[in-house]
Amino acid sequence: MDEDDELAARRRAMVDLQIDARGIRDPALLAAMREVPRHEFVAASLRREAYDDTPLPIEERQTISQPYIVALMLEAARIGPRDRVLEVGAGSGYASAVASRLAAHVDAIERHPRLVELARERLARLGFANVDVHGGDGSTGWAAGAPYDAIVVAAAGPRVPDALREQLAPGGRLVMPVGGEHGAQRLVRLVRESDGRFRETDLGGVMFVPLVGAQGWSAGSNDT
């Protein structure tokens, strides 16, 4: 088997054993995860680990989330083909790429300029044309693209930022880890009801890098 065939076989096994077997049911999401080449979103030295059941390090001391966590968040966000999506914390660009196969358009924000550059380059090279990667502090969202049908935050903040609640369309879903900068965090989903109220669901315990910004944690020596 050549390397591409082997990586494709690993990717199918990843979806079967880590995603499907753990109860993710959205057929479009399973299909997207069977297609998006996760190995292209990590350093060359980590290609062979790209389909393992774990987060992996990326540049700037950040991480690409565990595949199951990406699936859990995107399923909870219930992204449909006409939806406009915001991802805060683009990192490698992998989750944005998967989301872009489910949605009409994805805006992704990343605070590290080097990661912005790498994610843009990869997404363009791989043909993900409906994703725009913006540099900046996504804790205040991306007002220019609002309102969003779904907002997915890939970094943990002390609370759901008001700016993100405001940028959610009626009926919109927001999925975000909330809790300690380095400790216990819960993945929460907020649904903005048509009467303007927010309904919150707890999706379980998780571990994410900190959301650093005006409506997140302040930048410190450990999280830059």
Cα 206 to Cα 177: distance, rounded to the nearest angstrom: 7
Which of 78/139 has CB closer to ligand SAH?
A: 139
18, 28 Cβ separation under 8 angstroms: no
Q: Is 194 a catalytic residue?
A: no
Task: Please state, in angstroms and rounded to a whole number, the distance separating the CA atoms of residues 84 and 100.
Answer: 9
Kindly name the residue from 45, 65, 96, 194 that is annotated as catalytic: 65
Provide the residue type at 128 as one letter: F
Pairing assessment for the beta strands 185-192 and 168-179 based on DSSP bridges: antiparallel
56-61's contacts with Cβ under 8 Å and 24+ in sequence apart are 58/91, 58/92, 58/115, 59/112, 59/114, 59/115, 59/118, 60/112, 60/114, 60/115, 61/224
> What minimum distance in Å lies between the beta carbon of 60 and ligand SAH?
6
As a whole number of angstroms, the distance between CA 125 and CA 63 comes to 21
Q: Give CA separation, 87 vs 11, 35, 154, in Å.
A: 23, 20, 7
Question: What's the burial of 191, exposed, middle or buried (CB within 10 Å: 0-12/13-18/19+)?
Answer: middle
Interacting residues toward ligand SAH by CB under 6 A: 62-65, 88-89, 91-92, 94-95, 109-112, 115, 137-139, 154-155, 209, 211-213, 216
Shortest CB 96 distance to ligand SAH, Å: 7
Nearer to ligand SAH, 171 or 205 (CB): 205
Please identify, using beta-carbon distances, which residue of 15 and 212 lies nearer to ligand SAH: 212
Nearest position to ligand SAH, beta carbon = 91
Find the shortest distance in angstroms from Cβ 193 to ligand SAH: 27
> Nearer to ligand SAH by C-beta: 7 or 70?
70
Q: Which residues are catalytically annotated? A: 65
